[in-house]
Chain A
Amino acid sequence: GAVVSQHPSWVICKSGTSVKIECRSLDFQATTMFWYRQFPKQSLMLMATSNEGSKATYEQGVEKDKFLINHASLTLSTLTVTSAHPEDSSFYICSAWDSNTDTQYFGPGTRLTVL
């Protein structure tokens, strides 16, 4: 299947700082990428849909000023968690939509811990 990378794989930061997570589709172009959040033993909760060249679409209850998304190219989307707090600690996973196969492929995830 297609390959999606995510960086960093884990990050620990202090409360109040900002953290940027990158998501790259390595062997296909993705006009649409998705950002999910997953708590332990729970399902994948969609945060936002990232569209190349346009504004992201956020799910209800997700603060767009806190979770900044930029989809600057057909292979890169970034999620910036601004002014992070301990409750933002979670596993963040991106996925990229491959229109050739009508399938979402997931990155390896980023574990964020905010102290």
Chain B
Amino acid sequence: QQPVQSPQAVILREGEDAVINCSSSKALYSVHWYRQKHGEAPVFLMILLKGGEQKGHDKISASFNEKKQQSSLYLTASQLSYSGTYFCGTEDAAAGNKLTFGGGTRVLVKP
């Protein structure tokens, strides 16, 4: 079953913050975050492997709450280059490296 992402879309002004959530009905082994620009392939941002883990990439960070079976991606002081569609990909214990992707969150950062 596909993880649920929220919100579906968000519009930001440059410098503003945003949070994207990813929730699963299954127990998760890992959560992967990607960003996709229009007409291009998804680009890997980060992977979270353990409950409670937090990671950062530039001013984009993420957390993984294993108990709640959810992950959040934080866009801090957003830049124009952050625009795109963000997908979470979840891996459950039986998946064997297979990821199930959420519906995506479209982010538009305006000047």
A residues sitting closer than 8 Å to B (CB atoms) are: 1, 6, 32, 34, 42-44, 46, 49, 93, 97, 101-109
Q: A102-B30, A102-B47, A103-B32 are in contact. Are A46 and B41 (CB under 8 A)?
A: no
CB neighbours of A104 from chain B (8 A) = 32, 44, 89, 97, 99
Count A/B pairs, Cβ under 8 Å: 51
B101 touches A44 (CB 8 A): yes
CB neighbours of B82 from chain A (8 A) = none
**Which residues of chain B from 81 to 111 have a CB within 8 Å of any chain A CB?**
87, 89, 96-104
**B17 to nearest A CB, angstroms?**
25
Interface of A: prevailing SS: strand
A108 touches B89 (CB 8 A): no
CB neighbours of A102 from chain B (8 A) = 30, 47, 49, 97
B100 touches A46 (CB 8 A): yes
CB neighbours of B104 from chain A (8 A) = 42-43
**B98 to nearest A CB, angstroms?**
6
CB neighbours of B89 from chain A (8 A) = 44, 104
Q: A102-B49, A103-B32, A104-B32 are in contact. Are A44 and B87 (CB under 8 A)?
A: yes
6 extra interchain contacts, Cβ-Cβ under 8 A, other than A42-B103, A42-B104? A1-B43, A43-B102, A44-B101, A49-B98, A104-B44, A105-B44
